[in-house]
Amino acid sequence: MKLSQINKDWTLFLDRDGVINVKKENDYVKNWKEFVFHDKSISAIAKLTKIFGRIIIVTNQKGIGKGLMTEMDLNTIHKKMIKIIELNFGKIDKIYFCPDINDSFIDRKPNIGMALKAKNEFPLIDFKKSVMIGDSSSDILFGHRLGMQTVFINALKRQNNNFQFEFKSLIDFTNFLIESLNKN
């Protein structure tokens, strides 16, 4: 992918836990008190809002399926997260989530159901002009299955070779993208 080709025709798909907020290892972010934005992820989303035509969050939320939290708990987290992002000049067009615990369920990443819902709601989405940013192999496989460019976010820099780009954080990717766009 030539990053310099990205413009408002493109869609950005983001995983939530581990990309926007700190992932709780072996646990789930079950309420707002447990939600912690990654350093500079709010700033990154504000900058990415100026570049991409749409920003969509796609997130597996197995904690609901396991009965550890409710859909109302998740909606509260998302409403507060979006409010803070918007107060900082960012925009999330839509959040799709899968509460199912069954890995074969169509909406559960790496399956593509959430992307198909997004395409149905936002017909201008072109998966060939989309980037998927995630911190797990299921995020990357989700992107590959749709022909998207994939970006692996991993603060620990574990190697996984199934993606086009790897960055330590969302802000690192954002700064690299802006630098690439400014070269033209």
Q: What DSSP state is assigned to residue 33? A: G
Q: Is 15 a catalytic residue?
A: yes
pLDDT tens sequence across 133-170 = 999 999 999 999 999 999 999 866 555 567 788 899 99
Q: What DSSP state is assigned to residue 156? A: T
Q: Residue 38: which domain range? A: 3-182
Question: From CA 7, how far away is CA 10, in angstroms rounded?
Answer: 6
Question: What confidence score (pLDDT) does residue 154 get?
Answer: 85
CB 148 within 8 A of CB 126: no
Asked if residue 110 has a cis previous peptide bond (ω within 30° of 0), the answer is yes
What's the domain count of the chain? 1
Question: What confidence score (pLDDT) does residue 46 get?
Answer: 98
Residue 34 has pLDDT above 60, yes or no: yes
Please, what is the angle between helix 71-87 and helix 41-49, to 10°?
A: 70
Residue 31 has pLDDT above 90, yes or no: yes
CATH number at residue 24: 3.40.50.1000
DSSP 95-107: EEEE----TTSTT
Q: Which of 15, 73, 100, 107 is catalytic?
A: 15
Q: Which two tokens stand for residue 106?
A: 């169509």
Q: Which two tokens stand for residue 8?
A: 């408002």
Question: What confidence score (pLDDT) does residue 141 get?
Answer: 95
Total length of the chain: 184
Q: What DSSP state is assigned to residue 129? A: G
Q: What DSSP state is assigned to residue 67? A: T
Q: Is 73 a catalytic residue?
A: no
pLDDT tens sequence across 110-135 = 999 999 999 999 999 999 999 999 99
Instruction: Outline where 32-169 has alpha helix (H).
Output: 41-49, 62-65, 71-87, 113-121, 137-145
Residue 140, helix vs strand vs coil = helix
Q: Which of 17, 73, 100, 135 is catalytic?
A: 17
